[in-house]
Structure 1
């Protein structure tokens, strides 16, 4: 396996850096003054939020040539591991990609990291995992990632963290848009386009995306195709009120190749996903908040015989009230239901599923969070969420934290919070191990963080120590009878996250992160050491964006005797600005041709290349 040392790659990058001169400042890194909304549900400077938050803005997303938004955020989030097992697309079901891991917390399926769109939870109604192929970069203006427990504000599934995708906006009058096309190895091709318009109080965005690949496996078909459309319409009603609605539809087909030891010749999975949302937001000096309605739905059909329809829908209402000086009181009420029906009569008993009834889980929640500032330096927050679930009953989820500005360039943070995951429909009702008596999974997350911005603005640093203890994990228990889902699992994760943003000049930037995770159990997608380095610099009209990942001690199998994976990855994107509006790019992935597997039996692609163009136009006054 080709795994040059990370030190060698650092030296290589340093050599490049000495000869680079950029025309525009890079957008790598973080800032204590950046305003976030995900950590508190109210706009607040990052230095005043006790949670560990990573922010990826539109400029950073534009640097990437990925059609999907998730690969674009990986360099910017310490410890975030994405199972991007294909050259494009993730697929669905066991053995597919798209699994997310933060601080060694993930799941199979991936239902312990919550994905939100504009603060609304996004997951499949039966298996409770997000559908990674539904999130396209053209649709997203900004991404905010909470690393660590986030259930006080966002409820179920936010055990390891929450990824909030904030949809696209158009704040300048007139028309703007972009179009992009790429082609690459293994018959991979993508097309995307976005058109925005703003006039007076009206604003609209529409996008169309298509991605496909013939697949890279020689032993089994592993092609993928996905076409998606997104539309958003916003009307500013005045006095801080805005009404926005959006709809997104995806039609995808995925060929599951099986493992290298047991390849599959005919396992095609067709699925259609959709989302409809409507939100009324208010912004004022004393009150701000929103009323949000959302409905997610999907239909899946596999050649293996599995068929399902599912839904996830809800109502969310919250208000941030400033009734006391230097205090913000957040009150929220949420009601949701998720479920669906599935069948697979081709399986022999007792594995066969033949269900006519639709299974539903209903959940009603109220939450409160108080944020209080003292002396312009100390910011305290405490919150609690009360959950009523139609299956397991009541649950209380508390959390508290603080942020202390030691000086204008240094911030100390500390927090302790509980998080949970409600049992999914598949846990409760489907397949023989199902158990209607399951309790929610839960954990406590404790962390201590330090942020420092050095004088001159050339260095930013973040360091976080965390300790997470989980219990009631849902696992299949075969002792004393037939296999059945039970709340028998527990774990203790502890570790360190660090990130350094270094800008030796205004023309060149490096973003470095290191994550150490000591996990008590043999869990998937939890590397013991995880290093990332991205550089951003320009030479004339050329922009160079190399990205290195070094992984040590990643478990890809639950078999205790299986060896862990250690590998190095080098990706390089080269952009060339042909005109002010037209840009060409070349992207090389896994240029070290490393041989590795994120999931046991599923090899990752070797060296692969792609090239494309991107055309953007904006109103003349921009």
Structure 2
């Protein structure tokens, strides 16, 4: 640990002020989560490692994209956010999410959900990070580790559940905001919510753009987004919900430092429509959720595609015996699309200009049993039926045990998988229609200790993950093709400390140690985050520091590890009851580094903005 870090840590604690306060916030074990199971439960009853980021933390981050707001609060999460705004799509873009060193290229081993519904592109099976705006989200729950028993394909390294805004009060409410920043960066947002009786309606719009920071290449970005949500409480126990989301973005891929590009323009439109019926009773609860995701991509290089991902999730939680909950569910998805590239001659154009679709239907069962009021046992299994590779079984087991009023033990062992995507099976010369799903086992054990009336919480988790059947290019075949030949072994330790003595002071510290068997991107050996929020009357300061050691930024250069330190500070001032001003300064050490070899990260950049609530 270098000298700047020592100074920052001392400064953080100097800001803390009094150690005790009367107005405390709820910490992890008292929080109710819905992602670790398919119903609302205390986090202390969920065997998975779960991180929760609430609405206030998302707002105070000052981030337009909700994924960036998660970084300080989720141990072991690394986000490749190398642009000032936006992540882009296609080869060479950012937006890769890594949890405990598990990511993928493309980024298809971390599942993103919106209100429990899977979100990934139909052809490449990865999420489109530019579609997730902070203004639309109420809270985020992140499962760190295998989550396929409940959520299916792609949840190998974890699942990120974005829970949409539910409104705040009866009548009209909302907010508008604007910010300007370095390199021609600007963003505008507006949200309007109306609630009356059984109805709730919410609409939000976002516009953001930047000229980019690369002097040798064009890395501009622009995005316009719309979100609409409608809820109707039919009865006390039945609710109807529908929403619509659209994001229209343009991204210029800058290329590497060795090969800068001036006009690699990529236009992409992403949309989502969903309809849900939610029932909430004393003995039976659940939902029937229907979704349709769609997109259109058009690149200056000649690549064009249309894709869809549609399906339904139907599940019910049965509490027929005291202390026991049985969850049964059916998931069906149909994903795929059509891609063309007129600039590619045969055989490089294999599988293009043809519509490809994959159908998958899963059934799953999970039982949770409470024993002696201290132990909660989870047993689950998912049966997969895929139109391409056939059938497979995914089991899982978990246990939580209250050692005392202040100490909680968690253990879990679960299998996870990723179904082959359309690009793996059909597109371009490496495609192979005989592929099977990638699989992984995740084993972990954690201990949580709570002190000082739940003002201080400490968590320690050790984990071991082993993956096999990974889809990789096999150069020994003629021609080289995709095969299930890859494997990995990750093991590590993560710890988190959260201290909330009052609403005027919050501290979160997390650290992840990771040992990987293979050289992969976005898997640092040591990853430390620390953030403090301190309020002085109407003024607030929130410094965030990130320290990375042993990050290999190139799969080809095994000894090319880098270390770096980042410091961001968010300053806020409540000018009026409804009006807040803020300044967000990033990379104040002006650290020069590359998360991915050839792509420099931004230096010092500053954004100033205002937010008006009504």
Q: Give the TM-score normalised by structure 1.
A: 0.96
> 1:511-522 maps to which residues of 2 (within 5 A)?
511-522=508-519
The alpha-carbon distance between structure 1 residues 153 and 82, as it changes in their structure 2 partners (threshold 3 A), is same
Q: Quick one: which of 285, 299, 303 aligns to 2:300?
A: 303
Q: Which residue of 2 aligns with 1:444?
A: 441
Structure 1 gap segments, 5+ residues each: 618-622
Q: Distance in 1 between matches of 2:501 and 2:38?
A: 35
The CA deviation at 1:531 is 0.3
Report matched runs for 1:488-507 at 5 Å: 488-503=485-500, 507=504
Equivalent residue number for residue 254 of structure 2 = 257
- The structural deviation recorded for 1:113 is 0.3
* Alpha carbons 1:33, 1:46 under 8 Å: kept: yes
CA distance in 2, matches of 1:405, 1:457: 15
Q: Distance in 2 between matches of 1:194 and 1:169?
A: 12
| Counterpart contact for 2:15–2:534, Cα < 8 Å | no
User: So what's the TM-score if we normalise by structure 2?
Assistant: 0.98
Q: 2:378, 2:398 within 8 Å by CA — same for their partners in 1?
A: yes
How many matched pairs? 614
User: What do the CA deviations read for 1:170-190 (whole angstroms, capped 9, x no partner)?
Assistant: 252101101110000011100
Q: Does 1:202 align with 2:199?
A: yes
The aligned runs of 1:374-453 (5 Å cut-off) are: 374-453=371-450
Q: Secondary structure at the match of 2:263?
A: coil
Cα distance change of structure 1 residues 440 and 286 upon mapping to structure 2, 3 Å threshold: same
| 8 Å contact from structure 2 (residues 339, 354) kept in 1 | no
Q: Name 1:572's counterpart in structure 2.
A: 569
Which residue matches 1:620? none
Contact conserved, 2:20 with 2:502, CA < 8 A, in 1?
no
Q: Residue 342 of structure 1 corresponds to which residue in structure 2?
A: 339
Matched, 1:116 2:107: no
What is the CA–CA distance in structure 2 between the aligned matches of 1:23 and 1:458, rounded to whole Å? Answer: 9
Instruction: Select 2:143's aligned residue among 141, 146, 164.
Output: 146
Distance in 2 between residues matched to 1:30 and 1:309, nearest whole Å = 43
Distance in 1, matches of 2:536 and 2:319, equals 49
C-alpha distance in 2, partners of 1:25/1:563?
48
Cα offset for 1:6? 2.0
CA distance in 1, matches of 2:246, 2:552: 35
How big is the shift at 1:351? 1.8
Q: Deviations over 1:439-486 (max 9, x none)?
A: 000000000011111134331011100000000000011114211001
Does the CA contact (< 8 Å) of 1:342 and 1:353 recur in 2? no
Cα distance between partner residues in 2 of 1:397 and 1:204: 39
- RMSD value, Cα: 1.7
Residue matched to 1:34: 31
2:351, 2:426 within 8 Å by CA — same for their partners in 1?
A: no
**Which residue in 2 is equivalent to 1:527?**
524
- SS of equivalent residue, structure 2 residue 260: coil
2:30 partner SS = coil
Q: In the alignment, what sits opposite 1:13?
A: 12
Identify which range, 421-430 or 458-467, moves more after superposition: 458-467
Q: Does 1:82 align with 2:79?
A: yes
Deviation of 1:264 (Å): 1.1
Distance in 1 (CA, whole Å) between partners of 2:507 and 2:299 is: 44
Structure 1 residue 547 corresponds to structure 2 residue 553:
no
Greater Cα offset, 221-230 or 474-483: 474-483
1:29-428 to 2 correspondences below 5 Å:
30-352=27-349, 355-428=352-425
Q: Distance in 1 between matches of 2:228 and 2:20?
A: 36
Q: Deviations over 1:47-86 (max 9, x none)?
A: 0100000011111111121111110111111111011111
Do the aligned partners of 2:361 and 2:386 also contact (CA within 8 Å) in 1? yes
Greater RCO (Cα-Cα under 8 Å, separation 6 or more): 1
Inter-partner Cα distance in structure 2 for 1:489 and 1:5 = 40
Asked if structure 2 preserves the Cα contact closer than 8 Å seen for 1:21 and 1:537, the reply is no
SS in 1 for 2:403: strand
| Gap change, CA 1:482 and 1:201, over 3 Å in 2 | same
How far off its partner does 1:25 sit? 6.0
